[in-house]
Amino acid sequence: MGKKPNVWVSPREDGWAVQHEGSQRAGTVVPTKDEAVRAGRETAQREKVELIVQRRDGTIESKDSYGPDPNPPKDTEH
């Protein structure tokens, strides 16, 4: 079995999208970033993958890994 796709929280004109990496369609679209991050975190934890959150301008704000990581980060962001 291949690597599971990460979960992205991305801005859209109609709110914030939560979708799997490489997917054409969002699994969820919600009005606020907080709601999207909450939904994305639940999905990433359940599927043991990384959550990648973007800012409104499309740059990456944060990454949180919920799966087994052979090279864990040395930072203390969370």
76 in a structural domain: no
To which residue do tokens 């980060």 refer?
73
Residue in 68, 15, 23, 16 with CA at minimum distance from that of residue 7: 23
CA 31 to chain centre: 16
1 in a structural domain: no
* pTM recorded for the entire structure: 0.83
72 in a structural domain: no
Domain carrying residue 22:
7-65
Q: What's the number of domains the chain is made of? A: 1
pLDDT digits (tens, 9 = 90+) for 25-58: 999 999 999 999 999 999 999 999 999 999 999 9
Average pLDDT of span 2-18: 93
30 in a structural domain: yes
Task: Return the amino acid letter for 31.
Answer: P
